Amino acid sequence: MPTRNRGKSTVGGDGGQGEDEATEDDDGKEGAARDRANLREHAMEMTARNLHPASKTESSNCDGAINRNGGDTTEVTVPLSKLGKRLVPIERDNLYRLRDRKFLLEDKRRLCAWALGTALLGILLMILHTELCPVIYPPSSIYALIINCLMSMSTGCLLILILTYHYKDIRLFTIDHNQVDWRIAMTSQRVLGISLELVVCAIHPIATYWGPEIGSAGLAAGGAKADQAEGNWSSPPLCSSGRSEGGLPDPLPLLSCLMFLRLYLVHRAVLLHSKVLLSASYRSIGSLNNINFTFRFVLKVLMNKYPGRTLLVFIIFFWLSTSWLLTVCERQTQEETGRMLTALWLIAITFLTVGYGDVSPKTFCGKAVCLLTGVMGVACTAMLVAVVTKRLALNKGEKHVHYFMMDIQISKRIRHAAANVLRECWLLHRANIGKLGHGAHRRHQRSLLEAVRKFRNLRLKQRKLRDYASEMVDLPKMQMIMCDLSANWNNSYRELEQRIISMEQKLDELGRCLNHTSELLAQAMYRYSPDDRHANTISAPLKC
């Protein structure tokens, strides 16, 4: 019985052990599966690290804070691209940035050209409408409506082009400064500049040309046609909208004049299309010399390269534009200055600061235009004087030739003056020897003093000419000469050093040779001394 129970218990124990072993096998399989899953996750993580070398198991919040998975690393990296976007190596990223920068510069240049063309189109439409209405067509006609709509459409296109240009400029700023958020570029100065540009480009004559209230304009047009039929060629009236009530002035002339503010786009187009900015050599040398390529620098280059053409184009354009603005301002009162020929004459004499006084503006707008013309006339006159002076001035070679020939001529005159002094001295000496009268003696003395005075004046003139010529020495040439002299001195100094070193080496060799010679002499004297010879004679018979 006990044996049986023991056997049963043994069997039961074996069964429990089998169940435990099965449970351990299941746990081992689950552990192996977990290990394989961990290995797969680790492999995927290593692959992700290889694909994203700049992230390094970091994640950034939208606020810019960095959460680390492991605290044992000390490297902090901020990914510049969005999550899930494939990052490229640094070299390829720089190449892509350079390519994007080139494309953005080309887009800016193209947008600036289109914006300037649209602005000029709006100004031409405004001038066309102002000159044709109400002489050719009444304000309520379909032609006036079409021109007004085209002017508004061109203004809208201009505003869109300005916004697109500044969008490209902001993108270029983010690329140049390696930024991601475009709001960093929106400084208060930039926002103010964009707002001011939009306000300036949005100004244009806005009026409704369809309505029954056109009596005043129609009467004005009829009066103008009647005056022209009678032969009284006065200035045509303005195309009024019929809405200026209560004694208020018509805003049409002011809005028409303010449309010329769109010409500020000219300086931007000149800067972006200039050869100075397009040339890579200009940009590289300018960056090395810390020069900013602005419109001022481009204008200086143009004035130094093409001074006559630049001034001529600016003066003609300014003359015509201000004359037309003066006619628009003076048409309100139907004055004589409202005609184009009279306005051209008044602008010309004001620009040249002559001011005959035969014609003068009557309105505040006309006086402001004449004041601006006078200021620009003074500035252009100063630039014209500088250009003419530069053209008339001698260059360095011409100055050297001119002063050299003047020096030769003065030297000849000095020799003649010295000969005259010697002649007068000889004549005075003959007068003293011949015992002539006091009158002849005084006459020869006066001639001698006059010759001495001329000689001294010529010597002083030559000294001044040489002093002035010595001031005109070419400093770069002198600098080159001094550089050559210093280079020759350095070369001679190096040659002298090499010769001294070679002499020292030869002296060392000579000293070693003398030491060796003295040693050889000492050995020879020791070998052939008398004591040695006596010892040799004594030992010779013994050996035999």
Query: What is the tens place of the pLDDT at every residue in 410-456?
Result: 999 999 999 999 998 988 888 887 776 777 888 888 898 999 999 99
**Token duo for residue 416:** 């003649």
Residue 155 pLDDT greater than 90, yes or no: yes
Mean residue pLDDT across the chain: 75
Tokens 């914006």 correspond to 115
- In this predicted model, what pLDDT tens digit does every residue of 226-245 receive, in sequence order? 444 444 444 555 665 444 44
Q: Please tell me which residue, 347 or 73, carries the higher pLDDT value.
A: 347
How far is residue 277 from each of residues 108, 165, 269, 283, 295, measured CA to CA in Å?
A: 13, 18, 11, 7, 10
10 Å Cβ neighbour count for 190? 14
**Closest C-alpha to 358, from 373, 337, 375, 376:** 337
Q: In 138-227, which ranges are E strands?
A: none
Q: Please state the φ and ψ torsions of residue 71, each to the nearest 5 degrees.
A: -100, 10
Least confident of 120-129, 145-154, 214-223, 482-491: 214-223
CB 204 within 8 A of CB 152: yes
pLDDT for residue 82 is more than 70:
no
pLDDT at position 179 is 79
Q: Pairing state of beta strands 66-68 and 58-60? A: antiparallel
Contacts (Cβ under 8 Å, ≥6 apart) of 26: none
- Residue 108 or 29, more confident: 108
Report the interhelical angle of 295-305 vs 307-330 (nearest 10°): 110
Q: Are the CB atoms for 264 and 158 separated by under 8 Å?
A: no
Sign of the torsion formed by the C-alpha atoms of 334, 335, 341 and 345: negative
Coil, strand, or helix at residue 186? Answer: coil
The percentage of the chain sitting over the pLDDT mark of 70, rounded to a whole number, equals 69
Q: Please give the Cα distance from 194 to 163 (Å, whole number).
A: 8
Distance separating the N- and C-terminal Cα atoms of the chain? 130
Position 221 pLDDT exceeds 60: no
> Which range (24-28, 326-330, 373-377) has the least confidence?
24-28
Listed residue (70, 43, 46, 72) closest to 58, CA to CA: 70
Is the pLDDT at 494 greater than 70? The verdict is yes
Query: Looking at residues 478-490, what average pLDDT do you find?
Result: 84
Q: How confident is the model over 370-410, as pLDDT tens digits?
A: 999 999 999 998 888 888 888 888 777 787 788 888 889 99
The pLDDT > 90 percentage for the chain reads: 24
Average pLDDT over residues 338-357: 87
Gap between the Cα atoms of 296 and 278, Å rounded: 16
The pLDDT assigned to 215 comes to 38
At residue 69, φ and ψ (nearest 5 deg) are -80, -35
pLDDT value of residue 87 = 43
Task: Quote the CA–CA distance of 307 and 303 in Å, as a whole number.
Answer: 4
Report, in this order, helix, strand and coil percent for the chain, each rounded to 5: 75, 0, 20
> Which letter, b or e, does each residue of 199-223 get, where b requires 16 or more Cβ atoms within 10 Å of its Cβ?
ebbebbbebebeeeebeebeebbee
pLDDT tens digits, one per residue of 241-298: 444 444 445 677 788 888 999 999 998 898 888 877 777 677 777 767 777 778 888 8
Tell me the torsion sign for CA atoms 17, 19, 25, 26. negative
Q: What is the pLDDT of residue 465?
A: 83
pLDDT at 507: 92
pLDDT at 520 over 60: yes
Instruction: Please tell me the pTM assigned to this model.
Output: 0.58
At 164 the pLDDT is 94
